[in-house]
C-alpha cells in the first residue's frame, strides 16, 4: 500500500551544501549563490528514487538580522534555480540567545518531523551537512551521514581530525556526496 510505503530520503543542510555559506549569514538574494552542479546532483537523487528535503537552521531570524521574507525570497530562488526538486524546506528560526527550541540543530526535532512526514526508511536515508550540528541529530536517529567539506575560507578553525570523526563519509561537495550514496546502493 502506498500509504504505508517507507521512502528513502536525503536530508540536506542548506548553507554550505546547496548554496555558498557566508560568515554574516546567507540571506541577501544578490549574494545567494547556488554551489556548482547542485541542480544536477538533485536530479540524480530524484532519478535514483530519493526524496529530497532541506533541514536548515536560520537563527538570523531570531536575531533580527533578516526576516522570514528575506529567507523565503532566497528559497524561491533556490527552488527556481534547482528545478523545484526540493520537496520541503524545514527551517528553525531560533537561537538560544532569544528562544530555545528542540527544532534547532544539533537538537533533532526538525529532523524527526521530516522523518515522520516523509515516512523515511531510516536504513535507506541519509543526512548531508557541512557542520557537526547537522550530523549529530542524524546519527542519533540512525541515519547515514556525509560531511561536506566547506570552503577552505570558511573552515580555517576546524581540524581534519575533527572532520573525520564526525561524518561516516566525507565529500568535497554535494555531487561527490551523491556519488557516495549511489555507490552504497549499487
Which residues of the shown chain bind Mg ion in the complex (CB under 5 A)? Answer: 13, 15-16, 130-131
Q: Which residue has the cell 555531487?
A: 175
Q: How far is the CB of 3 from Mg ion (least distance, A)?
A: 33
Q: How far is the CB of 147 from Mg ion (least distance, A)?
A: 10
Which of 5, 24 has the CB closer to Mg ion?
24
Which of 31, 119 has the CB closer to Mg ion?
31
| 169 backbone φψ class: left, alpha, beta (φ>0; ψ -120 to 50) | beta
Q: How far is the CB of 2 from Mg ion (least distance, A)?
A: 33
Q: Is the dihedral of CA 118, 120, 126, 131 positive or negative?
A: positive
* Half-sphere exposure at residue 4, Cβ-oriented, CA atoms within 13 angstroms: 1
Residue nearest to Mg ion (CB): 16
Asked if 92 and 56 count as a contact pair (C-beta separation under 8 A), the reply is yes
Residue 15 bears catalytic tag: yes
Q: How far is the CB of 97 from Mg ion (least distance, A)?
A: 19
Which of 16, 137 has the CB closer to Mg ion?
16
Which of the 8 DSSP states describes residue 21? -
Q: Which residues pair with 144 in a beta bridge?
A: 126
Asked if 14 and 54 count as a contact pair (C-beta separation under 8 A), the reply is yes
Catalytic one of 13, 21, 107, 134: 13
Is 159 buried (19+), middle (13-18) or exposed (0-12) by CB count in 10 A? exposed
Which of 15, 107 has the CB closer to Mg ion?
15
Q: Which three cell numbers stand for residue 46?
A: 530524484
Q: Which three cell numbers stand for residue 100?
A: 530555545
Q: How far is the CB of 49 from Mg ion (least distance, A)?
A: 25
Which are the catalytic amino acids? 13, 15
Amino acid at each position: 500500500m502506498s500509504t504505508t510505503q517507507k521512502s528513502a530520503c536525503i536530508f540536506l543542510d542548506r548553507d554550505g551544501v546547496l548554496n555558498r555559506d557566508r560568515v554574516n549569514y546567507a540571506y541577501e538574494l544578490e549574494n545567494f549563490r547556488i554551489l556548482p552542479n547542485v541542480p544536477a546532483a538533485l536530479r540524480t537523487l530524484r532519478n535514483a528514487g530519493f526524496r529530497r528535503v532541506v533541514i536548515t537552521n536560520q537563527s538570523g531570524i531570531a536575531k533580527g538580522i533578516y526576516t522570514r521574507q528575506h529567507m523565503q525570497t532566497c528559497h524561491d530562488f533556490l527552488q527556481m534555480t534547482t528545478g523545484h526538486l526540493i520537496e520541503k524546506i524545514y527551517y528553525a528560526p531560533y537561537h538560544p540567545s532569544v528562544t530555545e527550541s528542540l527544532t534547532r540543530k544539533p537538537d533533532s526535532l526538525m529532523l524527526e518531523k521530516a522523518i515522520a512526514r516523509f515516512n523515511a526508511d531510516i536504513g535507506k536515508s541519509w543526512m548531508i551537512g557541512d557542520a557537526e550540528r547537522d550530523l549529530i541529530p542524524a546519527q542519533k536517529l540512525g541515519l547515514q551521514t556525509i560531511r561536506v567539506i566547506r570552503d577552505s575560507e570558511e573552515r580555517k578553525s576546524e581540524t581534519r581530525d575533527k572532520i573525520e570523526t564526525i561524518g561516516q563519509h566525507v565529500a568535497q561537495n554535494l555531487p561527490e556526496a551523491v556519488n557516495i550514496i549511489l555507490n552504497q546502493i549499487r
